[in-house]
Chains A and B, each alone.
Chain A
Amino acid sequence: MKPPNFHYFAPTALEDALVLLAQHGAEARILAGGQSLVPQMNMRRVRPATLIDINRIANLAYVQPTTTGIAIGALTRTTTLEHDALIGSRQPLIAEAARYIGYPAIRNRGTLGGSLAHADPNAELPPVMLALNAEIEVRQHGSSRTITAANFFQGPAKTSLTTGELISEVRIPDLPPGAGSAFIEVSRREGGYAIVGVAAVVVLNADRSIAEARVALCGVGPTPLRATQTEQGSIGQPANAHTWAAAATAVQHEIINPPDDLHGSADYRRHLAAVLVERALTSAAARI
């Protein structure tokens, strides 16, 4: 389990990384936390000709308030997502999901940008970003653009990033007043990949009717799934067990072709999705 030869660059400035990325194009891969890329290279499942190690770039790891929410640098470690006070107070859903990711040693290295760019369909952070309507700031040499989380994930290990682009920042708008959130998952063992995970946000009106519900899942398809029909069906309903049970039924119709593998059959994943959606919505509403 040793990788083939590759060229290695360790730029200290973002602009230098972008120049290298422009020069090496599709042959290059970004090395951030390396928790997925390095094992894949060791097993020779991916063979990049060039690695651009961004770990020495200053000012890519941060959590900052903005006028409308928070901004998180792409190189921010999972352990920071788990423990950062600003995230904990403004977007506890991120911290809650981060605790499910691997073990402390993995969380100390893995990064937010890396997890999103890797786009593993079972990973926890992609559905969280979907549920939070995150905006992903993408840079390339000479330009930048913003991609919404909803438009970012295209398939297993596939995103809207084009050759030469890297994620620099993720911006998360504040939730409206009266919002609660929850993340819940089932995995075969603690710290392992989710079989199914659910991120939920509920916003209630003053009369505790549902103003807005957001439901996003991992483990049920090639990309994380935003269950928009389930969400729509909840709007205006009272925040009670009947509504959440209806959401659980509804979400099963939005899961078209769930994976069927060693750790969970398609039927089980669809079943789990329903159970976990009901529980996540219940929990999110209870936190308001």
Chain B
Amino acid sequence: MTTTPEFKWVGKDIKRREDPSLLMGTAKYTNDVQLPGMLHTAVLRSPYAHARIINIDTSAAKQLPGVHVVLTGREAAEILNPVPAFCAEPVVEHAIAIEKVRYAGEAVVAVAADTRYIAEDALDLINIEWELLPPVVDMLAAMQPDAPLVHENLKSNVVFDHTFVFGDVAADFARADRVIKRRLRWPRATAAPMEPSGAVCSYDPGSGRMEVWSNTNMLNFVAWVIASTLKLPPHMVNFNPMYVGGSFGSKHVLGKVIGIAGALSKMTGRPVKFMEDRIDNLTANDSHAADRIYDAALALTNDGTFLSVRLNTFDDYGAYFMFAIAGNTNVMAQAIGPYKINSVEMDIKAILTNKNQQTVFRGAGSDVSNWVLERLVDAAADELGIDGIELRRHNFIQPDQFPYKIPTGNYYDSGNYAGVLDMALANAQLDHWRAEQVRLRSEGRYIGIGLVSAQQRSTYSATEFWFHNPAPASGLTTTPESVRIGIGPTGGFNATLFSTFWGNSPETVVAQAIAEEFDVDPSDVNISYESTRHGLPSAGPGGSRLTVMLSGAVRGAATKVKDKMFKIAAHLLEANADDMELRAGRVWVKGLNDEKYSLSIADIGMKAYWHKFDLPPDMESGLEGSFTYDHPFSSPPNAERTDLGAFYPMMGNAVHIAIVEVDVKTGKVAFLDFIAVHDVGTVMNPRALQGQIRGGIAQGIGIALLEEMRYGPDGQNLSSTFNDYLLPSTLDIPNIKVFHHVTPSPFTTYGVKGGGEGGRMVAPPAVTRAIEDALTPFGIQISELPITPESIVKAIAAANGA
């Protein structure tokens, strides 16, 4: 069922506004910033996973011509506070390690020099005396009481250990006919955006001000926190918005990168650039992601009715704890998937090890729980002998049950899960593939079908960040987003955004929304980004929120501007402001079609700017409006954290169907087809959304088949280049067929929901099931990603008793 409200520009399939400057190379990225006298930074990184720094000899490096500063952690601590961390636990991280290093790749010395070449030459001249400590690599071993400690002050490597219970889990398990149990393993991956993180910091010792050009993408949200790291008053630090070459969650803060460049600039009084190279990024960017063992259980009745889900989670967070357990609280937004499940229990053990820390990566942990829940559902179908499609359909929340409050307290705003499923089935030709499966098995070829239905929560509300902290110790931050709309004296629109561009389509969204609001062409709208100095509140991109939040902010700002336009027009046309309407780029007296009862937007703009005598008395000149849009449907958690409130309520849904062929001799997997139906409410721009979905699915295929951040038993990072951290390329990704199902949100402007993360959140279980289905004759269960060719060959050999 498709119920698209009638819009003129919302939903129109126009080309992305951002693309020409990206494709022509004119968009300015952080590494494009060149300032007079600018110095370049290289960082010496720890070769050891766990070691005490006994002595650092930098004398030879300091003598190298062209070197300006050689900065150790101890020296940096005089200039810098610790980097921002949002955990309640006392896990302290410095931009440059001071007493000991906690992972291979941790910064130990930073050098500022005339060129990056000289800076790297200087690194060769630094001698460090180390005391090696036993590395803590395996998370289960790290939990043992006698394990070496990553942070001695914590007394344990288990930094967080709590059981969240939502609803009567014990009773639901007690009345279940059966319980499906699986131990499931999701691998450590990393965001690996095309552009690594970086910063140019320029400190003026005369004024005490610092200018920052950095690809951190939550400028207004974190700039004031990073100012504290830099030991500067927040109003004396200005963050300039940069085009960002992808983040996927990896660039939310960048305290270390900005801290290092900022410290070196404060020491030299010169602009200093620090751009990560690929090895810096893969080993030390803090963008590793969920590294989890789940002991997962689904309680259900014999007719296939789901009752309760219990998730015992062991999560390897690495050496620090910047976002605390945000990647696990995220799961609570959609822990029951699209199904009626009565109660949820989540036991979370966050474990520190000698690895680069985990933060968030597209999906932010719900990618993992979707895979876990769909693995359980497929396991239930297998054990009950019920078709997986019918089992899902039997348990779906029904369209008339929305808004639906789930056991954790979050709400699902709207949905039509059977409608999405039916649309996928209508485009998948499953009868054909099932017949092919039978036919090809007789030739020794193995194809499989994977179908999953899963949620894609959107429109992040920051209350999630604080669930784990005991109430009322922490306040609950919120997530405003602002837009300013100005109309010039000749009628052109200027829209100002306070979030950065990070690879998504904020300019396209805002241009289409303004076109919708004012009935003008999107090409009439100029879009720019503003620095924090001039910034209005903005939480920036993240948590699939920007389309919803920008739409609301545009509506609010447009309402203010239109109100003034109507007042001016009414004054000039001698009518009531209430009787004005916008039509075809003009303001009319309602219902009249004679142009003399109308004014163009340009006419009104000119009057507003330069004809004060023609304005209503008491009206100030100018024609602009700003609006800060707050989350339209969020509520705080209760003190006991048994009801978390609405924190991710714009709930998208998707069905993915993957058809694969497995070469059982080599273990190689090939895609024969891939169908993706997404429902993210009203679609703002189909092609931009399709790009998001396809890119997300590519990353989902990556985690299913290729990606894994590996560490050796000594804690060495074994995946520090793209030879060893395997990202999928276009050659590894099938031609994905994307369809949109539309169930508008009742809570948002235009009914939009966020769609930025769904592809990656839904594809992994579909790919997993497709492979498992192909291998049905061998009776193989898949409980671990990535599914490598070798793992398939080994599983088949084991099944054959070889």
Interface residues of A (CB under 8 A from B): 1-5, 43-44, 103, 186, 188-193, 195, 262-265, 268, 271-272, 275-276
- A-B contact list, 23 entries, CB within 8 Å: A1-B120, A1-B277, A1-B279, A2-B117, A3-B117, A4-B124, A5-B117, A43-B279, A44-B124, A186-B668, A188-B706, A189-B727, A189-B728, A189-B731, A189-B732, A192-B723, A195-B789, A262-B718, A263-B724, A268-B793, A268-B794, A275-B666, A276-B666
Q: How many angstroms between the C-alpha atoms of A189 and B704 in the bound complex?
A: 13
A271 touches B793 (CB 8 A): yes
Out of A190, A193, A263, A264, name the residue touching B732 (CB < 8 Å).
Answer: A190
Question: Knowing that A189-B726, A262-B719, A263-B724 are A-B contacts, what are 17 other residue pairs whose CB atoms are under 8 Å apart, sorted by A's residue number?
Answer: A1-B278, A3-B117, A4-B117, A4-B120, A43-B721, A188-B788, A188-B789, A189-B706, A190-B729, A195-B789, A262-B710, A265-B790, A268-B790, A268-B793, A272-B666, A275-B666, A276-B666
* B235 contacts A by Cβ under 8 Å: no
Closest to A272 in B: B666
Contacts A2-B116, A188-B789 given; indicate if A193 touches B666 (C-beta within 8 A).
no
Does B731 lie within 8 Å of A191, measured CB to CB? yes
Docked pose: A190 CA to B734 CA in angstroms: 12
A125 CA to B724 CA, complexed, in Å = 21
Residues of B within 8 A of A264 (CB): 790
Residues of B near A272 (CB, < 8 A) are: 666
B374 CB, nearest partner CB in chain A, Å: 25
Residue in contact with A2 in the complex, picked from B120, B278, B788, B790, CB distance below 8 Å: B120
A131–B783 CA distance with the chains assembled, in angstroms: 41
Q: Which single residue of chain A is at the shortest CB-CB distance from B725?
A: A262
Known: A1-B279, A193-B723, A262-B710. A186 touches B666 (CB 8 A): yes
- Between A and B, how many residue pairs show CB distances below 8 Å? 61
Q: Does B665 contact A (CB under 8 A)?
A: yes
Give the Cβ gap from B668 to chain A, nearest Cβ, in Å.
6
Across the interface, which residues of B come within 8 angstroms of A2, CB to CB?
42, 115-117, 120
Question: Considering the complex, which residues of chain B in the window 659-695 have a beta carbon less than 8 Å from any beta carbon of chain A?
Answer: 665-666, 668
Interface string of B638-666 (1 = CB under 8 A from A): 00000000000000000000000000011
Max count, chain B CB within 10 A of own CB: residue among A189, A190, A265, A276: A189
Asked if B519 CB lies within 8 Å of chain A CBs, one says no
Q: How far, in whole Å, are A265 and B793 apart by their CA atoms in the complex?
A: 12
**B116 contacts which chain A residues (CB < 8 A)?**
2
Question: What separation, in Å, do the CA atoms of A189 and B794 have in the docked complex?
Answer: 19
Let me know if B732 and A4 touch, CB within 8 A: no
Question: How many of chain B's residues have a CB under 8 angstroms from any CB in A?
Answer: 31
Prevailing SS type, chain B contact patch: loop
CB distance from B558 to the nearest CB of A (A): 45
Give the chain B neighbours of A192 by CB distance below 8 A.
723, 726
CB proximity of A2 to chain B, nearest CB, Å: 4
Q: When chains A and B are docked, how far (Å) is the Cα of A44 from the Cα of B124?
A: 10
Would you call B121 an interface residue if the criterion is a C-beta within 8 Å of the partner chain's C-beta atoms?
A: yes
Distance in angstroms between the alpha carbons of A265 and B665 in the assembled complex? 15
**Interface-centre pick from B115, B710, B732 (highest chain A CB count, 10 A):** B732
CA distance A168 to B793 in the complex (A): 43
| B720-761 to A contact mask, C-beta < 8 Å, 1/0 | 010110111101100000000000000000000000000000
Distance (whole angstroms) from the CB of B717 to the closest CB of chain A: 11
- Which one of A1, A43, A190, A276 contacts B731 once the chains associate, using CB atoms below 8 Å? A190
Tell me which residues across on chain A come within 8 A of B668, comparing CB atoms: 186
C-alpha spacing A4/B710, complex, angstroms: 29
Query: Which chain A residue shows the least CB distance to B728?
Result: A189
Q: How far is the CA of A153 from the CA of B732 in the complex (A)?
A: 32
The 8 residue pairs across chains A and B that have the minimum distance between CB atoms = A190-B731, A1-B277, A268-B790, A2-B117, A275-B665, A186-B666, A2-B120, A189-B732
Contact among A1, A43, A191 with B729 in the assembled complex (CB-CB below 8 Å): A191
**What residue in chain A is nearest B121 (Cβ atoms)?**
A4
Nearest-CB distance from A196 to chain B (Å)?
A: 9
Would A189 and B710 count as touching, CB distance under 8 A?
Answer: no
Report B-chain residues with C-beta under 8 Å of the C-beta of A103: 729, 731
Of all chain B residues, the one with the shortest Cβ separation from A191 is B731
Task: Determine the distance from Cα of A33 to Cα of B278 in the docked complex, in whole angstroms.
Answer: 21
A186 touches B789 (CB 8 A): yes
User: Which of B666, B718, B732 is packed against the most chain A CB atoms within 10 Å?
Assistant: B666
Interface residues of B in 466-496 (CB under 8 A from A): none
Chain A's nearest CB lies how many Å from the CB of B786?
9
Complex Cα spacing A271 to B665, Å = 9
Determine if B790 and A189 form an interchain contact, defined as CB atoms under 8 angstroms apart: no
Q: Which residue of B lies closest to A103 (CB)?
A: B729
With both beta carbons as reference points, the residue of chain A lying nearest to B276 in the complex is identified as: A1
Q: What is the minimal beta-carbon distance from B724 to any residue of chain A, in angstroms?
A: 6
Give the distance to chain A from B250, nearest Cβ to Cβ, in Å.
19
**Closest chain A residue to B123, Cβ basis:** A44
Contacts of B794 in A (CB 8 A): 268
B107 CB to closest chain A CB, in angstroms? 16
* Residues of B close to A262: CB separation below 8 A: 710, 718-719, 724
